[in-house]
Amino acid sequence: QVQLQQSGPGLVKPSQTLSLTCAISGDSVSINRGTWHWIRQSPSRGLEWLGRTYYKSKWYNEYAVSVKSRITINPDTSKNQFSLQLNSVTPEDTAVYYCASGTSGYSLFDYWGQGTLVTVSS
């Protein structure tokens, strides 16, 4: 049974960087069949996939076009976790952020973190 535990601040000032971490238990971030994702949810955008990281002999990242210039997802094998950084945030980035896994190797999301409400406000 995979469990994902999110951590990070719930309030970020405009123009600053949103940073969240997702700790994994019950699986390994570097397992070949796993994909590790960040998804956000807001009333205006609904559920929006932001990006993923995965390992298949080397590390890969893929990002949504809407945030590609501002996003970084990094694995941390020493802590078995992965992180999200979103730069230059605006109030439109206010949302509940989820980490999620695709442990089958396909990008259907079989495990989710608990969610973190991030508010962008001064």
Partner 1 sequence: DIVMTQSPDSLAVSLGERATINCKSSQSVLYSSDNKNYLAWYQQKPGQPPELLIYWASTRESGVPDRFSGSGSGTDFTLTISSLQAEDVAIYYCQHYYSTPWTFGQGTKVELK
Binding site for partner 1 (CB under 8 A): 46-49, 62, 64-65, 98, 100, 102, 104, 106-110, 112-115
Q: Which is nearer to partner 1, 28 or 114 (CB)?
A: 114
Rounded distance, CA 89 to CA 83, Å?
16
Given a contact cutoff of 8 angstroms between Cβ atoms, the answer to whether 25 and 88 are in contact is no
Query: Sign of dihedral through CA atoms 119, 84, 98, 26?
Result: negative
Q: What is the CA radius of gyration of the chain?
A: 14
- Our CB check for partner 1 shows the closer of 13 and 68 to be 68
CB of 78 to partner 1, least distance (A): 26
Distance of closest approach, residue 46 Cβ to partner 1, in angstroms? 5
Compare residues 22 and 89 and give the one whose CB is closer to partner 1. Answer: 22
Q: State whether residue 39 is helix, strand or coil.
A: strand
> Residue 48 or 76: which CB sits closer to partner 1?
48
Identity at 26, one-letter amino acid code: G
The Cα–Cα gap between 102 and 27 comes to 11
Minimal distance in Å, beta carbon 121 to partner 1?
21
